[in-house]
Amino acid sequence: MNARTPDTLLNTVQLQADVNAAWGERIVPALTDYIAVPAKSPMFDPDWAAHGHLARVLQGAADWVERQRVPGLRCEIIQLNNAQGVPRTPVLFFELPASGGQDGTPAPASGQTVLMYGHLDKQPEFDGWRSDLGPWTPKVLDGKLYGRGGADDGYAVYASIAAIQAIQAQGRAHPRIVGLIETCEESGSADLLPYVDALRERLGDVGLVVCLDSGAGNYDQLWLTTSLRGMASGTLRVDILTEGVHSGDASGLVPSSFRILRHVLDRLEDSATGRLLPEVFHCEVPAERLAQARVTADILGDELFRRFPWAHHDCGGATAFALPTTTDPVEALLSRTWRPTLSVTGAQGFPALQDAGNVLRPYTAFKLSLRLPPLVDAAQAVQQLKTLLEDNAPYQAKVTFTPRGAASGWNAPSTSDWFEAALQNASQAHFGAACGTIGQGGTIPLMNMLSQGFPKAQMMVCGVLGPKSNAHGPNEFLHLDYAQRLTAAVAEVVVRMP
């Protein structure tokens, strides 16, 4: 055979069996070791270099890749310094030459490269974990691997190698493949662009990006992410006094720093609806994304709301549940993917409840996380946010907004015919259902960088973060069956790259 034909590229049954075996025998044990390490991202562990946790998980992944003895694959850890000579967070880079098949099928004629991406840094512990679970105590229960980082996104490097192994096990032709695994994603990938620049020649002509750091609408089919929101974050602080004073003596005369902060936030957000007021933080939803949202809404329905752990309470003898901002499925999808939203993710200046006395506090500080629509420039948004919050402070209080990071969102390029066919084939083969499309409310800074650097590349942005997987929060889990099917689907798509 001298031509690559989609119907004969891979034996689907063997592929899934090989992938399942790799997960059960080699990947789950490796992820168990990985979850046990508190490899928090530099934003949450400023002393990351001294603690050595990031280096430990990266070396662990590199050692695991080496033990797989994938023919032709080379793997190395790379660490650059910044302009001041300070080490950047390291990356793992691997590369595998293109290969023809054992049956005589030639390697893809385009000569393009597949780039596989993942990250090994983690969000902090957070509280609220079940008594039998914990962020650094991995546990497999009911087909789920619990612990911080397994699903976001520690599994990616292991799944990528397993997909390659499964292709090679069947002697099939494959394109050139490289992998880039970073340790700074949860801090906005601040160190990533210098590595992309330094490795640009080795990356080659990237025709397909496989990013496994995203989510899934359900666990019943393959999901392609078509957009990601951006983010602007920082600390808003209001100082009104130099020290705390007796609240009975001062309140009514000295304005509350919390009330001033609340007043300032009213410039940004309608507190009754949650809508961001400045139009500069909004953008028009492209017609294609709106049409996709309608299709996805029909698939997911009220699962869009049920996936979250809503608070409940007794209300006149009946159980009442907290409600979403909208129960319209299309509006729900757009609200979490194409509209800006504000979250307060941390606070300072407050004593613990048991320590709170009758004291008017001198300052209040909130950590703000502003999710931006995919087409809004994050750097400009940060500057607009700073001006909006700091100008004309009430009572001439000291109001400061200190930016902590910004990353623009991403809107996927048009899907080529071969890529669309490969996705649908992979989803039908390993899930028995069509591939779905969905926007995600989170941010993957790399995707915008890669779309600018490789404008013709197809983007397979997928992931295991489905309903209740709870990345960044308590009881985060990796759905093992879905991860196995997704791994096989990646192999199906990669082997079909022209």
Q: Cis link prior to 153 (omega < 30° from 0)?
A: yes
Chain Cα centroid distance, residue 294: 23
Tokens of 225: 């992410």
User: What mean pLDDT do residues 325-345 have?
Assistant: 96
Q: At 50, phi and psi to the nearest 5? A: -70, -40
User: Measured in Å, how far apart are the chain's first and last C-alpha atoms?
Assistant: 16
Closest by CA to 338, choosing from 230, 444, 241, is 230
At residue 495, the 3 state secondary structure works out as helix
pLDDT in tens, 132-149: 999 999 999 999 999 999
Binning the chain into helix, strand and coil, the percentages to the nearest 5 are 35, 25, 40
Average pLDDT, the chain: 95
pLDDT in tens, 260-282: 999 999 999 999 999 999 999 99
Q: 194 falls in which pLDDT band (50, 70, 90)?
A: very high
Question: How far lies 195's CA from each of 80, 178, 201, 482, in Å?
Answer: 8, 14, 11, 31
Look-up of token digits 């623009």: 408
Check pLDDT > 60 for residue 439: yes
How high is the pLDDT of residue 411?
Answer: 97
How high is the pLDDT of residue 392?
Answer: 96
How high is the pLDDT of residue 218?
Answer: 97
Check pLDDT > 70 for residue 432: yes
Q: 5 falls in which pLDDT band (50, 70, 90)?
A: low
Rounded Cα–Cα distance for residues 469 and 219 (Å): 11
How high is the pLDDT of residue 1?
Answer: 35
Rounded Cα–Cα distance for residues 87 and 37 (Å): 21
How high is the pLDDT of residue 445?
Answer: 87
Least confident of 4-13, 170-179, 224-233, 403-412: 4-13
Domains of the chain with bracketed CATH = 6-228+410-495 (3.40.630.10), 242-302+320-407 (3.30.70.360)
How high is the pLDDT of residue 2?
Answer: 38
Least confident of 175-179, 308-312, 378-382, 422-426: 308-312
Look-up of token digits 């049954």: 13
DSSP H helical ranges for 83-213: 155-169, 192-198, 200-203
Least confident of 29-33, 191-195, 338-342, 449-453: 449-453
Rounded Cα–Cα distance for residues 255 and 265 (Å): 16
Question: How far lies 9's CA from each of 233, 265, 426, in Å?
Answer: 46, 56, 12
Q: 370 falls in which pLDDT band (50, 70, 90)?
A: very high
Task: Decide if 124 contacts 346 (C-beta within 8 A).
Answer: no
Check pLDDT > 50 for residue 420: yes
